[in-house]
Chains A and B, each alone.
Chain A
Amino acid sequence: MSISRRKFLGWVGAAGLSATIGKSATASTHKHFTGYPGSFAVLHDTTLCVGCRSCETACNKVNDLPSPDKPFADLSVLEKKRRTTTKAFTVVNKYNDPERPKKPVFFKKQCNHCLEPACASVCFVRAFTKTKTGAVIYDSSVCVGCRYCMVACPFEIPTYEYDQVLTPRIRKCTMCYPRVSKGQLPGCVEVCPMEALTFGKRQDLINFAKQRIQKYPDRYVDHIYGEHEMGGTSWLYISGVPFKELGMREDLGVTPAPELTAGALSSVPMIVGLWPVLLTGLYAVSKRKEKIAQTEQENAVALALDKADASPQSIISEATESQTGEES
C-alpha cells in the first residue's frame, strides 16, 4: 500500500506510527490539557472535497456497519442534511456557497475527537478515553446507557442503538483507532480520491493548514476550525466559506468542556465540609433556645408558686414532670 505524502503528513513509516502511540490515558482532569504531544489528527480541506461519499463507503466497510438504505453511489442523499447515525459514523453534507451559488461545498462530519472531550468528561463510568493517538474511543462493556454523552457533545456526534434490547451501544467514529494502532491510515483518509483528508501529527497539520491559508488567501477563510474550538479538536477543517455556512457552530468558544462543570463540581467539597458544621450549629442554637425558654418557664412557674404560697412540693414536681415529658 502506498501512502501519498498528502494523505499522511509527516511521513513516518508504519513502524514509526505504531511506535509513537503510547498507552492510552484518560483526559479527565480539570487542568487545561492541550493534547498529547505528538498525537494525531485529520485535516479536512473542504475546498478539495467533491462529495463523492467514498469516505462514507470506506467507513462503513472498516467498521462493519450495516449497509445503508440507499447505495453509497446514490448522490441524491446529499440533498438532505444528515447527521451521524448508528449506521453511519461519518456523513458528507452539501452546502451552498453564498457567493458562488453554482458551486456547492461539501463538508464531512464525524466525531471531532476533542482534546478534552465533553463526552468523556460527563460519562459517569468513564466509558470514553482520549487516547494518545488522538482518538476518542468508547468502551461498550461498561456503558450504562444514560446518554448524557449525547446531551453533552457540542457537535451532536454520538448516536445510540435505541432498537437494541439487551446490548444498546453508543456508536461513533473511532478515528480508526484499531487501524491507526496497526500503522494503517483511517479508512476514510486512505480512500479519499481528492486527498481532501490528511492524517498526521496535529501540530504539523495546523502548521500545514496555516501555510495553505497564507499561500492561497483567496481560496480560504482565515480560520482553522478545530484549532481552538471547545479547547481544540483532533479533526481540523479549512474552508473557502465561513464555517457557519457549513452547519458548524461558530459560537462554541474556546473553553474546553470539562471546565463548564468544574466550578459546580468543586463546590461539592464545600457543601460537604460546611453544611454539617452550620447545621449542627443551628441545631445547637435551636436546642439552646428551647432550653432557655424552658428554664424561664420553670422559673416563672416557681415564682408564681412561691407567690401563691400554695403547697409547693407536690405542684412543682408535677410541673417539672410535665415539662420533661414535653421535652423528650
Chain B
Amino acid sequence: MTEETIAENKSFFNLFNICAGIVVVIGLYITYLRFTGGLAAVTNLSDNNPWGIWISFDLLCGVALAAGGYVTSAAVYLFGMKKYHSAVRPAVLTGFLGYSLVVLALQYDVGRPWRLPYPLVVQQGTTSVLFEVGLCVAIYLTVLFVEFSPAALEWLGLKKARNLAVKLTILLTIFGVVLSTMHQSSLGSLFLIAPSKLHPLWYSPYIPIYFFVTSIIAGLSMVIFESTLSHRFFAYKMDETHLKEANGITLGFGKAAAYVLAGYFAIKVMGISAGNNWHYLKTGYGTWYLVELIGFVALPALLYAIGVREKNLILIKWTSVLAILGIILNRFNVCLVAFNWQLPSSERYFPHWMEIGISVFIVMIGLILYRFIATRMPILYAHPDYKDAH
C-alpha cells in the first residue's frame, strides 16, 4: 500500500469517526426519548399504519441483507466451492452483526420489548407466521454466534474452544440454511394475511418464495459490496489468500447473482400472470411496479451478466449496489408503499425524522462493530496458527 492511500485512509477514518460520533449522540438522544415518551414521541406510527421503517428497513431489509452468511457458507462448505473460502468469515461476521442489529431494532419497535421472550416461554402462538420468524431468528442468531466464534476465539487464543467450534461447521451450515430458508420466506408470508391491504401487484401467494429468492440475491450482492469496501479500507489487513481470491469471489458471486436475478424476474412475471394482474400495470402503482421490476431486477441481472462476461469487476461491484437498492426498494414497497394503498393519502405513513435517526444509528453501530472486529480478529486474513486449517 502506498503512502498516499494510507494518508487517504487516515483522513477517511477521521471523517468517519466524526460522523459516527454525531450519529451516535443523536441516536442516544432519540433512544432516551423513545424509552421515556413511548412510540408516539418519536414515530409517525398510527392505528392505520402500525408498521413503519423500523419494520420495513431494520427488520425486513436487515434480515435480507444479512443473508450473505448462509449463502456463502453453504456455497463453500456444502457445495464444495473451496475457492471462495476467504469470503466466509467476513460474510458470517456481517450476518451475525446484521441479525444482532435486527434484534436491537426490535427493542425500539415493539411496545414492550422486555416481553420479547414471551412467545417462546409464556404462550406460543403457533398459528402465527411471526412466531415462526421469531423462533428461527432466535435460533439462527445463536448459530451465527457459534459460526463466528472461531475468529473471536483465535483472537483470544482459546485453542480448544476454537477447535470445537470449527468441528461444528458443517452441522451449523446445514442448520443455517434450513433456518434461513424458513424465516427469510416467512418474512414474506407475514403479508399473506392482508390481501385486502397489500396492492395485488405485490400481494401474491408466491411472496414467501420471492422473499427467499431475493434473500439469496441480497446475500450474494452484499458479499461483493462488502468485499469492495473492505478492499478499499482494510486491504492492509488482508493476507495473500484474501487478496488473491477476491476477484474470483466477485466474478463467481456476480455470476450466481445474475442467474438468480434472472430466475427471480421470471417467477415475478409468472406471478403477475398467475394472479392475472396485467391490467394493474397500466395504473400508477403499475408504473412503480415496473420501475422495481425493470430497473432493479432485470437491469442488475443484465449488468451482472455483462460484467461477468467481460470480466469487468468495476461493473459487477456497482451492480451489486444496484441490486442491494433493489432489495431495499422491494421491502419498502411491500411493507409501506403498496401497503394500505387504498387509504387516502392523508392517512398514509411517512417516517418521522427520529425513526430515520434510529435506523441510521443502528446501521452506524454495525459499521463501528465491524471495524472494531475486522481490525482485531482474523476476519480478513487467516490466523498464523491456523493457516492450513481451512
What is A's interface to B at a CB cutoff of 8 Å? 28-30, 83-86, 118, 120-127, 142-148, 150-152, 154, 156, 158-168, 249, 251-253, 257-258, 260-261, 263-265, 267-268, 271-272, 275-276, 279-280, 282-283, 286-287, 289-290, 325, 328
Closest Cβ of chain B: how far from A139's Cβ, in Å?
A: 9
Q: Is B378 an interface residue (CB 8 A)?
A: no
Interface pair A162/B196, CB less than 8 Å apart: no
Q: In the complex, what distance in Å separates the CA atom of A265 from the CA atom of B126?
A: 9
Known contacts A162-B39, A279-B177; A126 and B123 CB within 8 A of each other = yes
List 16 interface pairs A-B (beta carbons < 8 Å), by A numbering: A123-B125, A124-B134, A142-B118, A142-B122, A145-B112, A146-B111, A151-B50, A151-B190, A151-B197, A159-B47, A249-B196, A260-B193, A264-B208, A265-B129, A282-B78, A290-B80
Which positions 168-198 of chain B face chain A at CB distance < 8 Å? Answer: 170, 173-174, 177-178, 181-182, 185-186, 189-190, 192-197
Other than the given A85-B47, A251-B196, 5 more pairs (CB < 8 A) read A30-B127, A124-B119, A145-B115, A162-B39, A283-B170
- Chain B: which residue is nearest A152 at the CB level? B193
* From A123, A144, A151, A289, contact of B115 by CB (8 A): A144
Q: What class of interface size applies to chain B in its complex with A?
A: 35 or more
Q: Is B43 an interface residue (CB 8 A)?
A: yes
Interface pair A163/B38, CB less than 8 Å apart: yes
Q: A265: which B residues are within 8 A, CB to CB?
A: 127, 129, 132, 189
Q: A271: which B residues are within 8 A, CB to CB?
A: 178, 181-182
Q: A122: which B residues are within 8 A, CB to CB?
A: 125, 127-130, 193
Interface pair B110/A264, CB less than 8 Å apart: no
Interface pair A150/B182, CB less than 8 Å apart: no
- Chain A: which residue is nearest B191 at the CB level? A151
Q: B181: which A residues are within 8 A, CB to CB?
A: 271, 275
Over the window 100-138 of chain B, the binary record of Cβ atoms lying under 8 Å from chain A Cβ atoms (1 yes, 0 no) is 000000000111110110110011111111111010000
Q: A86: which B residues are within 8 A, CB to CB?
A: 47
Q: Is B36 an interface residue (CB 8 A)?
A: yes
Closest Cβ of chain B: how far from A80's Cβ, in Å?
A: 11
Interface pair B47/A84, CB less than 8 Å apart: yes
The 10 closest A-B pairs by CB, nearest first: A145-B111, A286-B80, A147-B50, A162-B40, A264-B189, A124-B131, A150-B50, A168-B111, A163-B40, A124-B125
* From A125, A280, A325, contact of B388 by CB (8 A): A325
Interface pair A283/B190, CB less than 8 Å apart: no
Q: Is B216 an interface residue (CB 8 A)?
A: no
- Chain B: which residue is nearest A128 at the CB level? B125
Closest Cβ of chain B: how far from A318's Cβ, in Å?
A: 16
Interface pair A121/B127, CB less than 8 Å apart: yes
Q: A30: which B residues are within 8 A, CB to CB?
A: 127
Known contacts A265-B127, A279-B177, A280-B174; A151 and B196 CB within 8 A of each other = no
Q: A257: which B residues are within 8 A, CB to CB?
A: 193
Q: A251: which B residues are within 8 A, CB to CB?
A: 196
Known contacts A121-B127, A150-B47, A162-B39; A145 and B110 CB within 8 A of each other = yes
Q: Is B29 an interface residue (CB 8 A)?
A: no
- Chain A: which residue is nearest B112 at the CB level? A145
Closest Cβ of chain A: how far from B80's Cβ, in Å?
A: 3
Q: In the complex, what distance in Å separates the CA atom of A290 from the CA atom of B48?
A: 56
Closest Cβ of chain A: how far from B274's Cβ, in Å?
A: 14
Q: In the complex, what distance in Å separates the CA atom of A316 from the CA atom of B77?
A: 29
- Chain A: which residue is nearest B124 at the CB level? A126
Closest Cβ of chain B: how far from A282's Cβ, in Å?
A: 5
Over the window 209-246 of chain B, the binary record of Cβ atoms lying under 8 Å from chain A Cβ atoms (1 yes, 0 no) is 00000000000000000000000000000000000000
Q: A151: which B residues are within 8 A, CB to CB?
A: 50-51, 190, 193-194, 197
Interface pair A154/B79, CB less than 8 Å apart: no
Q: In the complex, what distance in Å separates the CA atom of A282 from the CA atom of B112?
A: 43
Over the window 78-105 of chain B, the binary record of Cβ atoms lying under 8 Å from chain A Cβ atoms (1 yes, 0 no) is 1110000000000000000000000000
Q: A290: which B residues are within 8 A, CB to CB?
A: 80
Q: B196: which A residues are within 8 A, CB to CB?
A: 154, 249, 251-252
Interface pair B177/A275, CB less than 8 Å apart: yes
Interface pair A121/B193, CB less than 8 Å apart: yes
Interface pair A28/B123, CB less than 8 Å apart: no
Q: In the complex, what distance in Å separates the CA atom of A112 from the CA atom of B278?
A: 34
- Chain A: which residue is nearest B188 at the CB level? A264
Q: Is B45 an interface residue (CB 8 A)?
A: yes
- Chain B: which residue is nearest A83 at the CB level? B47
Closest Cβ of chain A: how far from B234's Cβ, in Å?
A: 27
Interface pair B205/A263, CB less than 8 Å apart: yes
* From B125, B170, B192, B208, contact of A125 by CB (8 A): B125
Q: In the complex, what distance in Å separates the CA atom of A162 from the CA atom of B35?
A: 12
Interface pair B182/A268, CB less than 8 Å apart: yes
Closest Cβ of chain A: how far from B165's Cβ, in Å?
A: 16
Interface pair B38/A125, CB less than 8 Å apart: no
Which positions 344-390 of chain B face chain A at CB distance < 8 Å? Answer: 388-389
Interface pair A156/B48, CB less than 8 Å apart: yes
Q: Is B37 an interface residue (CB 8 A)?
A: yes
Interface pair A83/B48, CB less than 8 Å apart: yes
Interface pair A261/B192, CB less than 8 Å apart: yes
Q: In the complex, what distance in Å separates the CA atom of A156 from the CA atom of B47?
A: 8
Q: In the complex, what distance in Å separates the CA atom of A150 from the CA atom of B194?
A: 10
Q: In the complex, what distance in Å separates the CA atom of A268 from the CA atom of B127?
A: 12
- Chain A: which residue is nearest B128 at the CB level? A124
Q: B189: which A residues are within 8 A, CB to CB?
A: 261, 264-265
- Chain A: which residue is nearest B116 at the CB level? A144
Q: In the complex, what distance in Å separates the CA atom of A143 from the CA atom of B125?
A: 11
Q: In the complex, what distance in Å separates the CA atom of A167 from the CA atom of B112?
A: 7
Closest Cβ of chain B: how far from A83's Cβ, in Å?
A: 7
